Amino acid sequence: MYVECYDEVGAQVYDTLLRHTLQDLKLARAINAIKIFIDPREALFIGVVKLEKASQPIYLDDIASYKMDNGVLKIIVEDENYIPNLLKALWVSEGRQNVNQPDRYKMEVSNPQLDPKNFIVHDPSEELKRKVYDALFRVMPEGFRMTRNASKDNLICIMSSDEIIDVKWDKKFNEVIEEVRNA
Given a cut of 90, whether residue 5 has pLDDT beyond it is no
- Architecture of the domain defined by 58-122: 2-Layer Sandwich (3.30)
Banded pLDDT at 28 (limits 50, 70, 90): confident
Angle at which helix 8-24 crosses helix 124-139, to 10 degrees, equals: 150
Given a cut of 90, whether residue 7 has pLDDT beyond it is no
Nearest to 156 by CA among 175, 183, 129, 131: 129
Nearest to 9 by CA among 38, 35, 47, 33: 38
Sequence spans of domains, the chain: 2-54+124-181, 58-122
Mean pLDDT within 67-85: 93
| pLDDT, tens only, 120-146 | 999 988 889 999 999 999 999 988 989
pTM for the model: 0.78
